[in-house]
Each structure stands twice: as structure tokens, then as C-alpha cells.
Amino acid sequence: MTKKAFWIPDEEIIKSSNIYKMMLKNGLESYPDFWKWSIKNKNEFWSQTVDNLGIQLQKKYDSILDANSGVEDPQWLKGAQLNIVDSCFQNQDNAIAVIFQKENGNIEKVTQKQLEHLVNKIANGLRDLGLEKGDPIAIDMSMTLEAVSIYLAGIKAGNPVVTIADSFTPNEIEIRLKITKPKVIFTQDVLQRVGKTLPLYEKIKEIKSPKAVVIKVGNNKIPLRKNDLYFKDFLSENDQFITEIQNPDDIITVLFSSGTTGEPKAIPWTHTTPIKGASDGYYHQNIQEKDIVCWPTNLGWMMGPWLVFAALINKASIALYYGAPMGKEFGSFIQNAKITMLGVVPSIVRNWKNTGSMESYDWKAIKCFSSTGEVSNPEEMEYLMQLANNKPIIEYCGGTEIGGGYLASTVVQPNIASTFSTQTLGGEFILLDEDENIAKKGELFLIPPIMGLSNTLLNQDHHKVYFDGTPKYEGKTLRRHGDEVEQLKNGYYRMHGRVDDAMNLGGIKVSSIQIEEIVNQLAFIKESAAIAVSPKDGGPGKLLIYYVENSKKLNTEERLIEAKQVIRKQLNPLFKVSDLVKIDVLPRTASGKVMRRKLRDVYS
């Protein structure tokens, strides 16, 4: 049963929106008409969007889209020359680009000119280290002013940036470095969270890694390896740097996303990928000049780069709180920084609701929230809306290999908690059941070409991962994504999680096989199957592990403790095992593949 609208836009909100401006310009009377127009007239839609975003081109494109080589290898901005970082610096010099606050600190502000100078000093520092255009660099640190600046500097200098989440174990860091082979890695000595000091540089020292540039955060001096150096010694005094102009399909970033194998997929972003994210922010989150955008995240997850581009290209400010987004200081930061768009992962909202930690703050500056990473819970999302005196939540779902979303909401449509009101502008998908028939609930398949979609993988066969064996739809090639989606009677959508062997845990995508490889090391486990199950009332998935017994030495509680510890140590401390379920035999297909979907159904 579909809920009634919880938030309805008034005429003032609609007419001041970026969507309405585009509808007016193109003589479109309703939002559904606009979405249909955006997919039927892709060249015109993306051409106008590039203009709306003010994308800086050293040489204008010959065509916005050339799909003559097929939809698996489209060319966007064909013939153009650009560097997407130039589009992040098109505001006034004195406009605020970054607002940040360290734990127990005060709010600090950085102008566009100050940010640009810091970016240029870092870019020159890369050249002083001997790095040439095309040499990759890596970032393994929290989302700080320095992290954002290093990220932009690498791209500006033509050095692809490999982004690694600061929560990863040494093993996970090393896997990513082996795949990408960066020349230098930027990190911090420690992480400071909720009064705790956690090692970060020590993780780098444990593994085989390139030269490290270390930002000092803690009070204690940590001895560096022979060739490593501190950030202050790396930084050039020269604050001028000429941007490296490149082709649209040159790589700017490598992010990682789990598939159905143990090794993460290395997904390259090009200069056109951020246009997708920035356009989603422009249309769906309705980010406008002078807005202040906060989204607790990390450059190792796609929402980190998304935040950088969606805010700066749209002439908004990036807001960064250096601590955990749980306590009262975070609530105070949102209030005092006058955040206008706040992004969340549903797990965070659950914590706020359970603790009431955000209820005493005045969040009236917020125009909208946005939620991604996990399936959300309607009751918790309604609670979130009320924290800012009933503001809409732009539900947002996509992927690293999309550069943004395929499902979203808008500020021009009624807003219903935990549902998506639309397919994203400029993109299209269909839902198929297990018999490959069109369905109201089924597996989602994208219909390419769509700006932002990946064309290559560094360590896997792109065609095999996304296209091999997919059905056709009205003669069109379909692209696999792996999410299960339901279209409701009112036309809105609801997310149901993954249909493949991947899962979202705490907003982080991980493959079942990665978890199973870790827990299979435990003496009491012969073999295992990891699944994520959504609670009956909706919300973030819970990690469950079915296992076939190998030893009876430990009791149930001891086994659960061991499983939690090994995953925390070897994979990610954010992944929490909710339950261990002993089973005599894992269900398998005729070809021997574990039937995880059946296990999910049995548990539910």
C-alpha cells in the first residue's frame, strides 16, 4: 500500500527550481514530460546541461554524443579538450568554496581563491617529486580540506587519483595499490574520531606501498620511512599552475566497487563522469549558487568525489565536519554552518532517532535532505524530515560505475518517505522478472548510452561484467546493474536491495565472496555463504552468515565473536555480523553456484 505524500512543494519552490527553469526554456508543462524529453532528446538535453553547469571547455565538442561505435563505447563531448577541475573554479574569487570544522574546533571558511592556491601548490609539489602527466597518485585519508585539495590537484595536473577509504584494513589497501600502482600515496598520521586516535599511516607502513606524503594530525611525532615526507615539506611555495588540458575520456580517478568476485572492480572515471554527478545535483538535489552542501562521506566512496563536483561546479560550498556525524557537535555544525542540503546514509538517521541527538538544533536553513547507500526505512526518513521542520528527502540510488544515480526524487514532485519519484533525468531503465519479462518488480537494467556510465574496468572485462548475456529490449542493448526495484501503483519506486552476490553494508558495497573468503579461515567453518537481509519494516540490510560446521569446539556466542573480529580486522570494522546460522548443506544450483537468494528467502 502506497503512503500519501508527506511533503508537497509550493509554487514558490517549484518556480525557483533548476528543473522548472529547464521546463520553461523547452516549453514543457509537467515533470513527466521533461523526463521523457530528456531521454528522447539526449543530445539536446546534455548540450543544455553542459551549458547550465558552465562546463569549461578549452575546445568545444564536435558532437555531444557519438554512439557510432555502439552503446558500449559511446563518445561524449567528442572532439572537446578540457580539464573538469577548471569547472570547479568558475565562481567569484571571494566566494566560500569549503567550510570545515575539526572536532572540538571552530568553523573555518576557505574562499575559492584560497582553495585554488592550495590546489596549485599541491600540483607543483607533484611535479617537484618528479611525477609526470599520467602518473597515478593515491589518497587514503579522511574527508578534509587537504583531501579535497589533493584530489583536485591530481586531476588538474593530469595525474589520475586512486581513492581508498580510510576505514580499510592494510590488506584491502594493498589490494587496491597492486591494481593501480600509484607513484605516491597521500595519507594522515592518525585519524581522530570521537576523542579516539586511530592509526592510519601505520597501515601504510605495514604493506608494500609507494612513497607516502603524510599530513600531521596527531600530537605525537611518528617516525617516517626513509623516503616518506610530511605534507608541509612536500607543499610547493608556488601557487600558480597551468591546468593540464586533456581529452574527455582521459582517466581522472579510479574508484573501487565490489562485484561477485573477491577482487574489487577498479572503475575509472573520466572528465565526463563528474558532469553526470553535477547534473544530478543540479536537477534532483536542486543545488544552486551559494548553497552549502554537506554529505558525511569519504573520497574512497563515490559520494566523496560526487560531493566535490556537485557542489563546486554548481557554485555551492562543500561543508566538511572532520568527526563522526553522530554526536551533538555535528548537529551544531549543521546549524551554525547553515547547511542547505544534507546528505545521509540511513544508518546515521537510525542513530539520530534512537539517541535524539539532533533534536535540539535549528536546521531551518536546510532546503532538502538526500539519502543513499542503503535501503531506507519510512519511519526513520519521516523522522529526518521533521528535524528540519518538514523538508523533502531526495532518495538517490546509483553506483560508482554510473558516476551518479539512476533513481532519484525532485523538489517539484510530492515527496513520500523511502520512495523515489523518478528515473534520473537523461537516463532510462527497465525492470525484468526472472523470465526476462517486463515487470513492476524485478531486476533493473539500464538502457545506454547515459552520460557517466563506465566504458572500461582496469582489472576485469567490462563487457562480461555489464553486458554479456543481458536480454534485448525493443532491439536495444541493456546494461546489467544488479539492483532489485519495484514500481508502485502511483508510479514511484521502492528499492529492495541487490539481486546478485553483492550487498550494501553501512553504505559500503561489498561482495559476498569477499566476506566468505575471510570467515572461511575460521576453524569452526567448513564453508559459508554471506547474505544481507533487509528488516521487515525496511531499512539498512543486516549481514548474516550461513555456515557448514567444521569443528564443534566453540559455543554459539564464541563463534559470533570470532566472526565479528576477523571481519573487523581483515575487511572493514564497519561491517557488523548480525547472525550466524548453522546449516547442514549450502543450497546450490546444478552448476554448483551457491543460491544466496534462496537463503535470503528462507531467513526472511
pLDDT at residue 572, as a whole number: 78
Give pLDDT, residue 65: 98
Q: What is the pLDDT of residue 497?
A: 76
| 501-603 maps to CATH 1.10.260.40 | no
Query: Using one digit for the tens of pLDDT, what is the confidence trace for 109-121?
Result: 999 999 999 999 9
* Residue 509 clears pLDDT 50, i.e. is over it: yes
Alpha carbons 482 and 596: distance in angstroms, whole number: 14
Q: Is 359 helix (H, G, I), strand (E, B) or coil?
A: coil
User: Which 3-state string (H, E, C) describes 118-172?
Assistant: HHHHHHHHHHHCCCCCCCCEEEECCCCHHHHHHHHHHHHCCCCEEEECCCCCHHH
Query: Which pLDDT value is given to residue 158?
Result: 98
Alpha helices in 377-496 (DSSP H): 378-387, 462-466
Q: Cα 299 to the chain's mean position, in Å?
A: 8
The whole-angstrom separation of Cα 507 and Cα 398 is: 12
Is pLDDT at 496 greater than 90 in this prediction?
A: no
The answer to whether residues 383 and 356 touch, using CB atoms and an 8 Å cutoff, is no
Average confidence (pLDDT) over 577-601:
80
| 2 pLDDT higher than 60 | no
What single-letter amino acid sits at 328? K
CA distance 320 to 197: 19
Give dist(CA 524, CA 351) in Å, integer. Answer: 33
Alpha-carbon span 584 to 222, nearest angstrom: 50
Per-residue CA distances from 325 to 164, 333, 343, 357 (Å): 20, 10, 11, 10
180-233, pLDDT tens digit by residue? 999 999 999 999 887 788 999 999 999 999 999 999 998 888 899 999 999 999
As a whole number, the mean pLDDT across the chain is 93
Predicted local confidence at residue 231, as pLDDT? 98
> Using CA atoms in the order 403, 407, 410, 415, what is the torsion angle rounded to 10 degrees?
-140
Cβ-count burial 292-302 (b if 16+ within 10 Å, e if not): bbbbbbbbbbb
Closest CA to 100 of 277, 361, 329, 362: 329
pLDDT digit string (tens) for 527-578?
898 988 877 766 667 889 999 998 888 888 999 999 999 988 888 777 888 8
Find the mean pLDDT for residues 168-181: 94
Would you say residue 247 has pLDDT above 80?
yes
Residue 316 and residue 290 in contact, taking contact as beta carbons nearer than 8 Å: yes
Provide the whole-model pTM.
0.88
Half-sphere exposure of 120 (CA within 13 A, CB side): 15
Using the Cα atoms of residue 38, residue 42, residue 43 and residue 46 in order, give the sign of their dihedral.
positive
Q: Nearest-CA neighbor of 534 among 435, 418, 426, 399? A: 418
The pLDDT of residue 1: 35
At what angle are helices 112-128 and 145-156 packed, to 10 degrees?
Answer: 60
Condensed to tens digits (0 to 9), the pLDDT of residues 373-402 reads 888 889 999 999 999 999 999 999 999 999
Lookup: cell for 197: 586516535
Q: How far is CA 327 from the centre of its chain?
A: 23
CA gap 295, 325 in Å, rounded: 10
pLDDT for residue 260: 46
Alpha helices per DSSP H over 258-318: 273-283, 303-312
Provide the strand spans (E) within 134-271: 137-140, 161-164, 184-188, 190-193, 196-199, 211-215, 229-230, 251-257, 265-270
In the chain, the N- to C-terminal Cα span, in Å, equals 20
Check whether 339 has a pLDDT greater than 70: yes
For residues 586 and 270, the model is more confident at: 270
Share of the chain above pLDDT 70, in %: 95
> What single letter denotes the amino acid at residue 289?
E
